[in-house]
Amino acid sequence: MKKTIAMLPGDGIGKEVMQGAQEVLTVIAEQFGHEFIFTSGLIGGSAIDQRGIPLPPETLELCRNADALMLGAVGGPKWDGEPPENRPERGLLALRKELGLYANIRPVKAYECLTDHSPFKKSVLDGVDFVIVRELTGGLYFGKPSERSGKGGAESAVDTLFYTKEEVRRILTAAFEMAASRRNKVTSVDKANVLESSRMWRETAEEVKAGYPDVELEHMLVDNAAMQLIKNPAQFDVLVTENMFGDILSDEASVLTGSLGMLPSSSLSLNGLHLYEPVHGSAPDIAGENKANPLAMILSAAMMLRTSFGMEEEANAVERAVQLVLDAGKRTGDLAFENDHPLTTDEMIAEIKEGL
Amino acid sequence: MKKTIAMLPGDGIGKEVMQGAQEVLTVIAEQFGHEFIFTSGLIGGSAIDQRGIPLPPETLELCRNADALMLGAVGGPKWDGEPPENRPERGLLALRKELGLYANIRPVKAYECLTDHSPFKKSVLDGVDFVIVRELTGGLYFGKPSERSGKGGAESAVDTLFYTKEEVRRILTAAFEMAASRRNKVTSVDKANVLESSRMWRETAEEVKAGYPDVELEHMLVDNAAMQLIKNPAQFDVLVTENMFGDILSDEASVLTGSLGMLPSSSLSLNGLHLYEPVHGSAPDIAGENKANPLAMILSAAMMLRTSFGMEEEANAVERAVQLVLDAGKRTGDLAFENDHPLTTDEMIAEIKEGL
Ligand SMILES: CC(C)[C@H](C(=O)O)[C@@H](O)C(=O)O
Ligand SMILES: CC(C)[C@H](C(=O)O)[C@@H](O)C(=O)O
């Protein structure tokens, strides 16, 4: 197959880990007889530096012409002084909105071989295998007004959590679809005892559930969910929630896996153009030092192969290579113990390629 | 001293645990020569049942005439069918707003003797001793509009995160005051890379900090905070945040302590009339069965003695009694292991009174 992949490395370690994904995909293309065309665009802080804005129109254009999108990470202290409407994160938020990337999918699975790195007891991690489905283009992130007003003593600020029923139905449908191909359980997380938007969310969940007689639906308040995620994470199959709730809960859940450096994610649209990115950020403290863990980005590439291109075998090959390297005890610095000799980013990429 | 304490048992196990607090306070009054006058009011579901509304005016009146307030818990499935504006939780939210209980204080400390019950490795819990200061009368809980509109395909819902600068300054000041009497570190949690209200919050934190040269101020994004709380909780001293963020993060943090059944909280006003309540809810599944753990309510009474009445010695006596009982291995069902014989609520109350 011939596929065009838009690569948006972004800032910080984004470039280094993207390099890993591209090299791995290149080997996969050779081995399986595909042709991957890589295009590259600016986003985030590096776009601000070179083009003055965090999402230049040519980047958007490049994305629209691709079959799938890969993003590294955006942001860093360098751009903290930028006005709010011109910060690196705005590039990512605008990309999500412009391309209708409404469903952020984050698998949460504890890697057996990383439990030593986990703050949790082994018993808690047993059987943890769930997916968080986070609404990504609405809610508290995008509602209007979002502004400051007044001066001095009369100053105030407002943000808005707004959803249309259709937006809510769309994300819940994605969650039910996912559950139907997994263990048939949806946990819908809201704050229905306080928020009106959550009450609409809860009703809509019941309506969507009617179309999935085999899928169990459970409602959970967001404060309770924050507890349950770490007390008894094995209870979850598919957890679906509002944008901001999802931001918080999915970062919390990432701790279960032992390392942020391992976690891929996908952001899905309705028209088939999806984005893949690691859960970790731009890690400006280690950027450019050849220290970053490229595995989350590489596993995001595997997700892309499977989800966007239907290349199940190819995706498995990448995931198997990662597992092999981990089983062999090879680690980048984030996962190494004090007395180990951690691999550099380049070395880790080379190891994975060898395992393919 | 003579003090009037308004007791609002509320719903579910609220009545049972409140009984414990009252008995313990009665012993303390005898031992230390105080006079405590207990008044009692309806709130939540039981107020709906008996008076048709979750916060009857006579309850508010009773509170205003007291020196301190104790609340059990509100809510339960029995009232799920009530219209939103008449649910048990509305009683508690209205009480907070009416009485200006703007600062919810939750100490988070891992009980050494409960680490077997914790999902965390012991090493993570070492040195955990911090306080969450949650803004309680503004933010996403109270902003207007909070409403549904449209019908059918055009349906939508909105909630509003609104703060005046003064509200933000007030809660941040409470946090800095608290840090100044502890380990001099404030972690201010926001989502300044997305929300306008968070940007005002962050600026205000810097302004308040200027008055506390000895207190260190750190800003942390809420998603990162959800991670840090469970990766490295010992880093925190005072964590301060918005109402909804605080709801989520404080329930998450409660897991560190080993049991929700142990956690007291206070909600402070500027005029000196404060409320004390356990962090746990009304636990309808075990209500009326003499199984509930009364310790969170009893420890809330200790907080009241110290904070509202300045009775340091009396508060210490209560806390010591709780520690004694735990050290002796006595547990209610929530903390017992399978082969133990758990104490009933009444038995636990009796044990604590003996230890006073
Ligand atoms: C960078 C930031 C705007 C973003 C978000 O909050 O959505 C990030 O935290 C994420 O989760 O993808
Ligand atoms: C009962 C509910 C409205 C309340 C809240 O969300 O504030 C509770 O969860 C709490 O944390 O005190």
* Mean pLDDT along residues B173-202: 97
pLDDT band (50, 70, 90) for residue A260: confident
Burial of A83 (0-12, 13-18, 19+ CB in 10 A): exposed
Q: Which atom of ligand 2 is nearest to the CA of B104?
A: 12
Nearest to B161 among A159, A164, A254 (CB): A159
**A338 pLDDT above the threshold of 80:** no
Cβ of residue A207 closer than 8 Å to a chain B Cβ: no
Cβ of residue B254 closer than 8 Å to a chain A Cβ: yes
Cβ of residue B356 closer than 8 Å to a chain A Cβ: no
According to the model, what pLDDT value does residue A335 have? 87
**A261 pLDDT above the threshold of 80:** yes
The neighbouring-strand residues paired with B5 are B38, B68
CB spacing of B166 vs A158 below 8 angstroms:
no
pLDDT digit string, tens, across residues A314-325: 999 999 999 999
What is the third-level CATH fold of B1-99+273-356? Isopropylmalate Dehydrogenase (3.40.718)
A180 is in an annotated binding site: no
Residues from chain A contacting residue B252 (CB–CB below 8 Å): 226-227, 229-230, 252
Class for the domain spanning B104-259 = alpha beta
pLDDT digit string, tens, across residues B4-56: 999 999 999 999 999 999 999 999 999 999 999 999 999 999 999 999 999 99
Which amino acid would we find at residue A47?
A
Residue A333, sorted as left (phi over 0), alpha (psi -120 to 50) or beta, turns out to be: alpha
According to the model, what pLDDT value does residue A248 have? 98
Cα A172 to ligand 1 centre (Å):
21
pLDDT band (50, 70, 90) for residue B98: very high
Task: Kindly report, as residue ranges, where domains of CATH 3.40.718.10 are found in chain A.
Answer: 1-99+273-356, 105-261
- Return the best residue to mutate from A85, A92, A248 for the ligand 1 pocket (most ligand atoms within 8 A of CB): A92
Burial of B148 (0-12, 13-18, 19+ CB in 10 A): middle
According to the model, what pLDDT value does residue B141 have? 98
According to the model, what pLDDT value does residue A169 have? 98
pLDDT band (50, 70, 90) for residue A124: very high
According to the model, what pLDDT value does residue A67 have? 98
B268: Cα within 13 Å, side-chain hemisphere: 21
Nearest listed ligand to the Cα of residue B92: 2
What CATH number does domain A105-261 carry, 1.10.540.10, 2.30.33.40, 1.20.1050.90, 3.40.718.10? 3.40.718.10
According to the model, what pLDDT value does residue B85 have? 84
User: pTM score, two decimals?
Assistant: 0.96
pLDDT band (50, 70, 90) for residue B166: very high
Q: Whose CA is nearest to atom 5 of ligand 1?
A: A247
Q: Is A340 an active-site residue?
A: no
**A296 pLDDT above the threshold of 80:** yes
Whole-number percent of chain B with pLDDT over 70: 100
Q: Which atom of ligand 1 is nearest to the CA of A251?
A: 11
| Cα separation, B174 vs B188, whole angstroms | 12
| Cα separation, A168 vs A187, whole angstroms | 14
The neighbouring-strand residues paired with B162 are A158, B139
pLDDT digit string, tens, across residues A134-159: 999 999 999 999 999 999 889 999 99
* Mean pLDDT along residues A74-83: 91
Nearest to B157 among A158, A196, A244 (CB): A196
A331 is in an annotated binding site: no
